């Protein structure tokens, strides 16, 4: 025993709280630099900072640290998906059926375009289908957060968020259905093939429903207090994310359904529409830094040209879907084009989806990554810009229009 | 503009028209939205009577009725415009509400509707322009000529507290109970050209006054005067602007009928001459009505007595009853009298709703249900 044993030993043990704080600081600085120097959305700065720290940059954020930080990513995703779900208003979709139709058509077309484009370039149909299903979804986090950063409000913003909610649900259902195919590919028993997707779907929805009922019950008991409702919602979001992980259910579907049900089953208006965004902001920064860190520039070489095909096919599918039906909704001319642009981002949810499959069959995940992740890399950087452009052009940002 | 711009267009006697400024709410937390342009574009493609126009901020929209002869015609048209608007609003997932103020919006979040005139107002008045996101009802009364218009405007000034108390529906502002029945008028008073028209008796004198002010560069047109009551030469009307937008089209039509019946009484019976004393007491009486509504008291310039506002309104309703009957407004004013006697008021309903739900979001939501005709008021 020496006199200096009280000093910590190098290397220091990883501490999640220190990691959280450092990621937050890194994101904060990256976001601010990008905003000041290049006038780009802060989110792009978070992602770039993540890339700089991660495998594509200095390699400070390795897989182990990323795994350590995943809990914060989960919380962020939970908050984003819940908020997104709360934007999906079933009453609206009934009054404006063209909006629902637009969501379904753009999802179907983007799936079909990506699928056929990839198959044309000799990607195995099952891989192509899974990649296409992932491409159906627009990143809820990016659209939500850019809208929040710009304090955007209006028809393009609301419609974009509803379309994102619709295509996220459709993407998830497609993924779950394709899971059977993946199981089959890896020769799992027929019980697995049939029951796993059913368990995921029913279990996640059930979890969302249970959490929603608890939220409504407690909200009624608590009475109308924005502060208490905020705590209630944060607690339930955390519990639902955790429970979904424990039960191997889908975080995405459970939280999205919690949000949708909280909005649409609350007939007595017991739950207040409190803003979780301010608290969420902390986790969102970490979400994008970690997202950036897990992007691999080396994938670009492998995915390269195919990623471009993927992006173009996806954009074409979404745009044709949106442009052909949005006019029937009676929104102002030009809104449809801006909606197409606002639907481009891909990001963390796509990563989470690949992550899910990769956990089950690592080899399958790796094959998918090459195609999807290089597309995500490009769209994670361009997406925030696209959304910012669309919302500014629509004149829906909080800044006074000086034109 | 030459003097010919101030020519007073003659209107057929005792006609009435209504303008209502309305709130556009989002359907998420019922805060003010910014969907005026989309709403106007959609209504532009629909069949509806009257007209719909933008207002100073993107959270507002104004509806105008046509020119009418009585209460029923006004009400029927207002209902048609409201229904068309409700239909358009549903497709955009926004709500429309009446009421003189939004209970909890923050003025700094408002955005000016992008027209040249509104941008100029923002440049000139600064933050007042955004605080001007309050909602009023204007009633136009047709008069044959400018001299009659001035007589009517001066005589109606005596009744301004009535108009305020009967329409008061802005007890909440920026998330707080203001303790006023109508807090909206405090916002209007901040503008330098608000207040009352000068005490001139003939249209000729008025034109001289107007040209003088224009010569000084104080105003460019009549629109720049934000008076409580102002003559509107190009319409041939006297415009009363102190009403809060009520919570229902039914109350809006009743208010128009009251003003119209009162105008017919004043113009046909000419009960007395305009008096400066009315203006000496004007701000006191106006304040009483804003602060206490029908519970306030006013000092009558002619009898120099203190009278309870409720009592004075009921007296006046009896006074104009014959004219109301001849216009076809008898039933509407009977209904109004019953409500005044029962002590029902829009501001009271808003406070009661807040007391019951303890959330201003719910107040705004129910305010909108009421306006859209989806719920009946029961207090």
Q: What is the pLDDT of residue B346?
A: 96
What length does chain A have? 403
The secondary structure element, H or E, covering residue B172 is strand B172-173
Q: What is the pLDDT of residue A329?
A: 84
Q: What is the pLDDT of residue A354?
A: 60
Task: Report ipTM for this prediction.
Answer: 0.88
> How many angstroms separate the CA atoms of B362 and B190, rounded?
30
> How far off is chain A from B97, nearest CA to CA, in Å?
18
- What residues form DSSP beta bridges with A316? none
Q: With 60 as the cut, is the pLDDT of residue A17 above it?
A: yes
Q: Which of B33, B34, B84 to mutate: most A Cβ within 10 Å?
A: B34
Interchain proximity B362–A396, CB inside 8 Å? no
Mean pLDDT of A250-275: 91
Give A373's pLDDT tier (boundaries 50, 70, 90).
Answer: confident
Nearest CB to B38 within list A95, A332, A398: A332
Q: With 60 as the cut, is the pLDDT of residue B3 above it?
A: no
What's phi and psi for A159, nearest 5 deg? -70, -40
**pLDDT, mean over chain A:** 87
Put simply, whether A396 touches B (Cβ < 8 Å) is: yes
Interchain proximity B34–A330, CB inside 8 Å? no
* Distance from chain centroid for Cα B12: 22
Q: At what angle do helices A362-393 and A155-185 cross, to 10 degrees?
A: 170
Mean pLDDT of A345-355: 68
Structure tokens at B186: 């405090």
How many angstroms separate the first and last alpha carbons of chain A?
73
Q: Does some domain include residue B59? A: yes
Q: Identify the residue whose tokens are 């089959």.
A: A184
Instruction: Render pLDDT for B283-322 as a digit per residue (tens, 0 to 9).
Output: 999 999 999 999 999 999 999 999 999 999 999 999 999 9
Q: With 60 as the cut, is the pLDDT of residue B379 above it?
A: no
Q: Does some domain include residue B378? A: no
Give A403's pLDDT tier (boundaries 50, 70, 90).
Answer: very low
Task: Judge residue A2's burial from the number of C-beta atoms within 10 Å of its C-beta, 0-12 exposed, 13-18 middle, 19 or more buried.
Answer: exposed
3-state secondary structure of B144: coil
Structure tokens at A156: 């393009």
Q: What is the pLDDT of residue A360?
A: 65
Q: What is the pLDDT of residue B378?
A: 60
Nearest CB to B35 within list A86, A154, A224: A154
Alpha helices in chain B (DSSP H): 36-44, 71-92, 116-125, 127-131, 146-157, 160-167, 184-189, 203-215, 249-269, 276-292, 309-319, 321-327, 330-342, 346-357, 360-371
Question: Poorest-confidence range of A65-74, B85-94, B132-141?
Answer: A65-74
Give A56's pLDDT tier (boundaries 50, 70, 90).
Answer: confident
Distant-in-sequence, close-in-space partners of A388: CB < 8 Å, separation ≥ 6: A40, A41, A146, A150
Give B373's pLDDT tier (boundaries 50, 70, 90).
Answer: confident
pTM (predicted TM-score) = 0.92
Distant-in-sequence, close-in-space partners of A39: CB < 8 Å, separation ≥ 6: none
Structure tokens at A262: 């909280």
The secondary structure element, H or E, covering residue B243 is strand B237-244
Share of chain B above pLDDT 70, in %: 98
Q: What is the pLDDT of residue A357?
A: 62
Nearest CB to A330 within list B91, B114, B357: B91
Mean pLDDT of A183-188: 75
Domain A41-393 has CATH 3.30.70.141: no
Q: With 50 as the cut, is the pLDDT of residue B4 above it?
A: no
Residue B247's closest CA among B355, B359, B356, B102? B102
> How many angstroms separate the CA atoms of A379 and A343, rounded?
11
Q: With 60 as the cut, is the pLDDT of residue B1 above it?
A: no
Residue B374 DSSP one-character state: S
Distant-in-sequence, close-in-space partners of A37: CB < 8 Å, separation ≥ 6: none
A vs B, Cβ pairs < 8 A, gives 66
Share of chain B above pLDDT 90, in %: 94
> How many angstroms separate the CA atoms of A326 and A343, rounded?
13
Mean pLDDT of A221-232: 92
Residue B58's closest CA among B112, B94, B122? B112
Q: With 90 as the cut, is the pLDDT of residue A204 above it?
A: yes
Nearest CB to A400 within list B90, B111, B365: B111
Distant-in-sequence, close-in-space partners of B226: CB < 8 Å, separation ≥ 6: B188, B191, B193, B194, B195, B241
Q: Which residues of B touch A (CB under 8 A)?
A: 26-29, 33-35, 37-38, 41-42, 45, 88, 90-93, 109, 111-112, 114, 122, 357-359, 361-362, 365
Mean pLDDT of A252-263: 93
Q: Does some domain include residue B379? A: no
Asked whether the beta carbons of A335 and A156 are under 8 A apart, the reply is: yes
Give the pairing type, strands B226-227 and B194-195.
parallel
Residue A32's closest CA among A149, A168, A143? A149
Residue B194 DSSP one-character state: E
Q: Which CATH number is B246's domain given?
A: 3.30.590.20
Structure tokens at B183: 């807090």
Q: Does some domain include residue B376? A: no
Q: What is the pLDDT of residue A74?
A: 87
Asked whether the beta carbons of A194 and A180 are under 8 A apart, the reply is: yes
For residue B79, the number of C-alpha atoms closer than 13 Å in the C-beta half-sphere is 11
Q: With 90 as the cut, is the pLDDT of residue A177 above it?
A: no
Q: With 90 as the cut, is the pLDDT of residue B92 above it?
A: yes
Mean pLDDT of A262-291: 88
Q: Which of B93, B119, B122, B356 to mutate: most A Cβ within 10 Å?
A: B93
Contacting residues of A for B29, CB less than 8 Å apart: 272-273
Q: With 60 as the cut, is the pLDDT of residue A37 above it?
A: yes
Instruction: Render pLDDT for B30-56 as a digit per residue (tens, 0 to 9).
Output: 999 999 999 999 999 999 999 999 999
What's phi and psi for A83, nearest 5 deg? -60, -40
Q: Where are the domains of chain A?
A: 41-393
Domain containing B179 equals: 3-371
Q: How far is CA A85 from CA A90, A96, A138, B28, in A?
A: 11, 18, 14, 12
How many angstroms separate the first and last alpha carbons of chain B?
51
Task: Judge residue B240's burial from the number of C-beta atoms within 10 Å of its C-beta, 0-12 exposed, 13-18 middle, 19 or more buried.
Answer: buried
Nearest CB to B358 within list A224, A332, A403: A224
Put simply, whether A327 touches B (Cβ < 8 Å) is: no
User: For A226, which residue in chain B has the nearest alpha carbon?
Assistant: B359
* Distance from chain centroid for Cα B347: 15
Instruction: Render pLDDT for A103-114 as a digit per residue (tens, 0 to 9).
Output: 999 999 999 999
Structural domain count of chain B: 1
What's phi and psi for B299, nearest 5 deg? -100, 120
Q: What is the pLDDT of residue A19?
A: 87
Instruction: Render pLDDT for A118-174 as a digit per residue (tens, 0 to 9).
Output: 999 888 888 889 889 999 999 998 999 999 889 999 999 999 999 999 998 898 888
Nearest CB to A332 within list B37, B91, B109: B37
Asked whether the beta carbons of A286 and A72 are under 8 A apart, the reply is: yes
Give A9's pLDDT tier (boundaries 50, 70, 90).
Answer: confident
Q: Which range among A271-285, A296-310, A362-376, B58-72 has the greatest average pLDDT?
A: B58-72
Q: Is the sign of the CA dihedral A183, A188, A189, A192 positive or negative?
A: negative
Radius of gyration in angstroms for the set of CA atoms belonging to chain A, rounded to a whole number: 21
> How far off is chain B from A242, nearest CA to CA, in Å?
27
Structure tokens at A113: 């375009």
Asked whether the beta carbons of B167 and B251 are under 8 A apart, the reply is: yes
Structure tokens at A314: 């996806």
Higher-pLDDT residue of A382 and A67 is A382
């Amino acid at each position: 025993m020496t006199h200096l044993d009280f000093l910590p030993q190098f290397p220091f043990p990883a501490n999640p709280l220190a990691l959280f704080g450092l990621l937050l600081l890194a994101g904060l600085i990256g976001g601010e630099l990008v905003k000041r120097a290049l006038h780009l959305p802060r989110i792009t700065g978070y992602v770039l900072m993540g890339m700089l720290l991660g495998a594509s940059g200095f390699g400070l954020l390795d897989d182990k640290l990323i795994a350590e930080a995943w809990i914060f990513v989960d919380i962020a995703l939970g908050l984003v998906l819940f908020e997104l779900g709360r934007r999906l208003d079933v009453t609206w979709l009934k009054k404006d059926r063209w909006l629902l139709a637009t969501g379904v058509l753009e999802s179907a077309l983007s799936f079909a375009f990506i699928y056929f484009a990839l198959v044309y370039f000799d990607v195995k149909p099952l891989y192509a289908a899974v990649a296409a299903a992932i491409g159906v979804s627009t990143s809820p986090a990016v659209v939500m957060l850019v809208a929040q950063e710009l304090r955007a409000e209006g028809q393009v913003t609301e419609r974009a968020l509803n379309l994102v909610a619709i295509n996220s649900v459709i993407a998830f259902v497609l993924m779950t259905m394709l899971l059977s195919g993946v199981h089959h590919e890896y020769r799992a028993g027929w019980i697995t093939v049939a029951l796993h997707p059913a368990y995921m779907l029913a279990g996640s929805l059930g979890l969302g429903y249970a959490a929603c009922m608890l939220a409504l019950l407690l909200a009624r008991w608590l009475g109308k207090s924005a502060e208490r409702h905020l705590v209630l919602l944060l607690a339930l979001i955390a519990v639902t994310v955790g429970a979904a992980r424990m039960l191997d259910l889908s975080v995405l579907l459970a939280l999205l359904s919690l949000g949708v049900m909280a909005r649409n089953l609350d007939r007595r208006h017991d739950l207040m529409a409190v803003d979780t965004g301010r608290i969420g902001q902390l986790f969102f920064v970490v979400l994008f830094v970690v997202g950036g860190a897990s992007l691999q520039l080396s994938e670009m070489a492998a995915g390269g040209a195919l990623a471009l095909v993927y992006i173009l096919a996806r954009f074409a599918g979404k745009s044709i879907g949106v442009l052909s039906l949005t006019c029937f909704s009676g929104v102002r001319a030009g809104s449809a084009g801006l909606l197409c642009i606002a639907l481009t981002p891909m990001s963390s949810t796509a990563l989470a989806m690949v992550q899910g499959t990769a956990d089950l069959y690592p080899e399958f995940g790796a094959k998918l990554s090459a195609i999807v992740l290089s597309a995500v890399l490009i769209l994670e950087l361009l997406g925030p810009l696209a959304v910012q452009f669309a919302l500014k052009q629509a004149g829906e940002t909080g800044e006074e229009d000086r034109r | 503009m030459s003097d010919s711009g101030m020519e007073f267009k003659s209107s057929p006697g005792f006609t009435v028209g209504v303008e209502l400024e309305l709130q556009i709410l989002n359907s998420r937390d019922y805060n003010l939205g910014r969907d005026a342009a989309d709403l106007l574009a959609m209504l532009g493609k629909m069949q509806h009577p009257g007209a719909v126009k933008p207002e100073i901020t993107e959270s507002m929209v104004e509806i105008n009725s046509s020119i009418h002869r009585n209460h029923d015609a006004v009400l029927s048209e207002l209902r048609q415009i409201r229904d068309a608007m409700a239909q358009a609003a549903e497709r955009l997932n926004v709500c429309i509400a009446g009421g003189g103020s939004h209970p909890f919006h923050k003025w700094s979040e408002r955005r000016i509707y992008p027209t040249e005139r509104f941008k100029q107002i923002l440049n000139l008045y600064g933050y007042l322009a955004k605080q001007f996101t309050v909602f009023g009802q204007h009633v136009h009364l047709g008069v044959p000529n400018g001299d009659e218009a001035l007589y009517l405007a001066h005589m109606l000034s005596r009744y301004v507290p009535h108009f305020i108390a009967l329409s008061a529906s802005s007890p909440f502002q920026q998330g707080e109970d203001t303790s006023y029945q109508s807090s909206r008028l405090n916002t209007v008073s901040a503008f330098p050209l608000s207040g009352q028209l000068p005490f001139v008796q003939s249209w000729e004198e008025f034109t001289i006054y107007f040209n003088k002010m224009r010569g000084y560069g104080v105003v460019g047109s009549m629109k720049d005067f934000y008076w409580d009551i102002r003559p509107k030469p190009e319409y041939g009307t006297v415009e009363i602007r102190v009403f809060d937008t009520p919570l229902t089209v039914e109350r809006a039509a009743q208010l128009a009928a009251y003003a119209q019946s009162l105008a017919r009484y004043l113009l046909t019976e000419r009960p007395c001459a305009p008096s400066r004393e009315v203006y000496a007491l004007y701000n006191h009486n106006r304040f009483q009505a804003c602060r206490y509504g029908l519970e306030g008291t006013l000092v009558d310039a002619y009898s120099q007595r203190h009278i309870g506002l409720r009592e004075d309104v009921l007296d006046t309703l009896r006074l104009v009853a014959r004219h109301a009957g001849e216009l076809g407004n008898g039933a509407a004013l009977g209904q109004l009298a019953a409500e005044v006697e029962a002590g029902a008021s829009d501001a009271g309903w808003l406070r009661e709703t807040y007391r019951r739900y303890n959330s201003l979001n719910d107040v705004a939501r129910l305010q909108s249900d009421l306006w859209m005709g989806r719920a009946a008021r029961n207090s």
